Structure 1
Amino acid sequence: MAQTVDVPAINCRSAVLENAEKHYFKRSTILRDVHPEVRTSAPLMDDATLQEIDRLLDGLASLAKQRPDRGIFYRSFVDRVVAWVHFSGGALWRRRDPGDLHLEVALGCCAQGEIAGSQAAAWRQACAAWVLDRQTARAVGPGSAVAPEQPSPNPTNELFLYVPWAVDDLAAGVLEMAARAGASPGLQDGYLRFLEAACEIMADYERRALLGELRRFHHHGARLDEFSRRIHASLDLEPVAYAIANEGLRILGCDRVSVLVRRRRGYQALAFSGAESFSRRSNTVRLLERLATAALAAGEPLWYPADGNLAPQIESPLEDYLDESHVRGLGILPLCVEDADGSPAERKIVGGLVVERFFGPADEGLRAACAPVAAHSALAIHNALAVERLPFGRLQRRLGAAAAAWRGRRLAGWAAGVAAVAALVAVLAWTPADFSVEARGELQPLAIRDLFAPDDGVAAELLAPTGTRVAANQVVLVLRKPSLELELKRVWGELQTARKRLAAVESEQLLNRREDEAQRKRYTELTAQQEELRALVASLQAQHEILKRQESELQVRSPIAGEVLTWDAEQLLAARPVARGQALLTVADLSGPWRLELRVPERRMRHLAEARARGDGRLDVSFALATNPGRVLRARLDRVGERTEVSELDGAVVLATAALDAGEIPERVPGATVVARIHCGTRSLGYVWLHDLIDAVRTWILF
């Protein structure tokens, strides 16, 4: 859209050029280096006028050398010309494509009023096109046509001046100025020659801009060639994807590039720039795959911020991904390749390219740069997928590399290497070795109990501090429950009151002789009150006994004889509120039997089960304590859990216990860390060393 600005009306400065119709002389320095072909036809001007023209042209030339953005330069250029001569308006037409003459800038009356109307605008564009095609400057007054063969006259009251410019003999654009009507031919000629000089500066700017664009294009082409060479260096899918992500980040200048490949149920993330690996279970990756599956279904690029409204099936996953990733600019491009017949209508999407910016939107420069990168990436992904789908394709490439290496070296060296490898394989396959399963755990006494709070309350008195020997059923901690105490006092008070009332009723009943009707009636009432009070007293006594029993249960007793192990129990439990079921103390019999509580990794259970099946199930266990790692002790496996537990430290494990002779333990520290090995018989040396790798290969082949 053309830019608009108001220009002041023409004032007396136009008289500077009116001097041109009075005097002429040969002065080529009027336009100096800007328009050297102008010689004898230049009008006679005084020195002040020539200096002013020189300053204006020098200013335009200086602006052109600064090479600002095209839009800024066009507007400044037209604005300066209009302001200096005080034209009533000005415009600049530029040819972008053959046959396409576009209005870049419109100022003053050329941007508003009748002149900017549809009829006048169409006539002006036709005049500009005629001047551009013939490369001839023209001044068109009101009611006149730009040429005899152009029947449409000037529909306005302004004088229009059209001056073309060319870049390397290619018509590039037209400078249009609107002046007051009635200017003499000499003044019109002065206007045109001045504008021709200005257009030479415009042509010089266009040459410089075109040269800069060619240089940038050449530099970008070199980088794109390097990008293509790197992504086509391998046929393995994952290295190709990482090469696209990392090299694409360097070319595109965004913050992150991601590569996805098409699978049966959608699109799967393969690589993220700047990351050697990633978790496929992460929320960001799952949301990106979901968004790519929805966006690439249409086969067209998706850009955010979007140019228009998005489809509902895309809008929801896009909002979820933006909330999770905090991306400000996003582009998802399909990686498309043509089928074998080369028909564009039969394009096949093999993957997706995701470009992201965290601190700004995806501008036009980024969008334009993504197209060639996506084209090269699509071909590389397509080739890698084709090789991946070949039967034993990866093995064939490895064998090909080995064959190439064989041809490049001496046969004797390879033969010696093969013999050494064969000997090593024989040793690993036939040499027996002890096979054991490693487990970690703790050393614990067999009799160990945790004491729990029987009810909500407050720790009132600790009777057995840390390290105290206690007997079975001995009270070790007394709890208080204020609400229970209050209820006990209330019930006891009500019980005493009820007893006193019962005694008073019984006393009155004994004194009543029942001689008259009133006394007999009173006796009956007292008998009813007596029964009621006896029932109340019985109920309150039952409540009191229950509350006393609850009060006695607040005494925490040790279920076994042993020693209090809880560290610094006095400080831990002093006046501390506790909840029902909360662990308070730990008591253990340190003089009794001890055992190992082991955590066997889930992946080792197959070896352990096979070894137990071959014998009686009581496998030998060798272990070392963290308190004395230099001494190896012995134990016997006696129990193995029937289900898998999840440990924060060791992951999925199966619990097991091993019995041992407590007399062999020099330092009996409950909970001491143990590193144990459960002996599972003998296997080949190679299996003992490489069983982890063998299990991983089996898992990879079967699943």
Structure 2
Amino acid sequence: MLGISECHRYVRIPGHRRDRVKHAAPQQPFVYRAAAATATAPPDAARRSGRTVESGEGLVRDAQREISDIVREVAAAATAQMPESRYWAFLADRILRAMAAEGVTVWRKASATEFDICHRLGNVDFQDWTNAARQSHQCMLHEIATGAGPAVVPSTPGAADPEQPANPSPHPVAVVAIDTDMGESSGSDATYLIEVHLESGGGTVTQRGYLRFVAQMADLAGEFMRRQLIRRLRDDASLSHWIDQQFDRWSRLSDPRSVIESLADLVAEGFHLDRVAVVRRERPREVIAVSHVDQVDRHSEAVRWILQQSLQTPVDDNGCYFNPDRDVGDGDDQDASLVLDCLVRVGTSSDLALIGLRNVNHAGCAEDHRDHLIRLCRMAGIAVDIKSSATNRSVLGRWLAPSGAMHGSWYQRYRRQWMTGLGALAAIIVGAMPVPNIVTSPAVLRPQQWQSVCSPRNAVVDAIYVRHNDRVEVGDPLLTLKDETLEQQIKQLRSERLRLEAELAVETENLIHPAGDRSAARSQANSRRRVTELRIDGIDAQLEHLRSVEASLHVTAKQSGIVDAWRLRQRLIDRPVRFGEPLLKVVQLDTAWNAEAEVDQRRMGDLMLSGDLGDLSVAVSPVAQPDVRWDAAVKSIGPAIESESGSATLVQLALPDHLSISEDSSEVASRGSFDSRKPVASPARINTAGNAMASKNSISAIPHEGMPVRVRFHCGTSPLAYVLFRDAIDSVRSFWGLHFGTPKKTEAST
């Protein structure tokens, strides 16, 4: 068979992996023929107008600029994350636009000698070719893919030898293999080729340039494929680890239905499916679970449709089906319907099946990760079998069975039951013992009067004049910002004003000593002088505004107090800040303090009940010094928020007035030590039981903004069982009230 390496002439691309120059007989069918020498320009070409030459050069520059933009777009797309089909469509479109070619085709190896079309664009149609022409074309693609290197293949429309590599199309083609540098160990069997159908009549230099450009596009496509492989391997490793974690999670569940419901939710989230259902295909046929749905209406039309799909969908030997149609619509998501994306058997011999549904406007990834999805369903089937075998054994029967000898006494035979009953009685007695009902929650201290210093504009912090815990008075400088843009504007306006003043002086001189027609010259000079004066007035107004803005960059204190800004210089000096960004706070000396507590909503019932009964007392302690205690009172309750631990309610607590920061305490805090001759106003106090909670010389007891504290709500006494199992008791109480409670009439219902 005539190999491509024996062709007449290949255009050589410096630096390419398989560049070479070969010669062969001119009568061979697969030949690259050099075009004739470029003819000299006609004599009248030199006499063209200069405007025509300039327009031609402009068109060339525009074409070069457009091609450079296309190359940059393709290079950027090579590093982007997108589906392969979308990338091939993008690459073919850019090559077709840059080369003005007849068509572009991206081929992918389907077998040892056959190639399939990944994407096709242009006017080339392979349907009109004969079988022999297709086979010769496939032979040509195979030769280039197996090492012949990039080539421009001339057109041989009459090629009829299926074993002879040829180009049956009516146009010469530039064919380049996409080198991914992945080798045999990469696990990828696909080899990609780019085939560009060129315009007929191009010369050697033109075709060499075309081939060089296609080779550059192939190198960028290879970079994209390498990145795609790395992403795919990383996603596979992450997905495999995620599946192993789910199996460990299933091993801790109690019943098989929980495993099935968890499987439906996990597949919907992990494989980007809009809806996932687990059905039983054998009688009794039913939909067991649907992703993110608590209750399934078994008589609805959607459930009947899912059961019908599970029975009518053909499956392979492994009990699986994946929808080969991956097209994505462009309609509205609200009006689009669901289509079957995959069907996978749960377990190896189970009658359960998982059905994945996706919106016609969405593209799921079940087909891309089919092996992982099958493995997840197999592991779920194993977990379901284990849980089913464990629950089939009767726990009550095992407990009621005699535990001792059958011929012994009644106590010996039922010793287990006796011990269980005595233990239950003891648990009831202990559970009924009254114990203090204490609710704890985290909180932070907030002052009631404080000044928040924010950046007046986008600038850079140039100087800071205060430190944390420094005392400041009204008008004291806090910090200075620097805006080089503002300074540049002021400098430009001043330069412009000087120039206009010089022009004004010249116009004044012309007004005094006019030249030529005195009346006309004076009128013109007077008009120009008025315009210059108006421009100077406008610049003065702008300078005044910019000076006011510049003055706002010198930030001063608006009230007397203590600076609250931890590590101020390390955080702000020489750092750019945005407009409105908080910089520091000035806390008023005699301000009152509040504690902002986040109370779990499940504990709010105890707080409200004890507050109505008058048994509620609140104590606040700093986290850094738990032996300090401050009494507090509930100021306000609400609103509800979402915290890290779940749903919570904000409770504002008012602390005693003696917690205000005094001048002595601020000075002591700024020095880092205390003077026994200047006692600090300490929040320590003696409680009603007479226990000393803190000493007066403790630095951590000085309140400051954002100080973490712990709040203890004393809600009276409750049984020990309720304190230990209050969540379960509240759940039972809520369930009983919703289903069996007596509804109360309200004004609206009346």
Smaller-chain TM-score bracket:
0.3 to 0.5
| Structure 1 or 2: more helix by fraction | 1
**TM-score, structure 2 as length reference:** 0.43
More strand by share: 1
| TM-score computed with the length of structure 1 as normaliser | 0.45
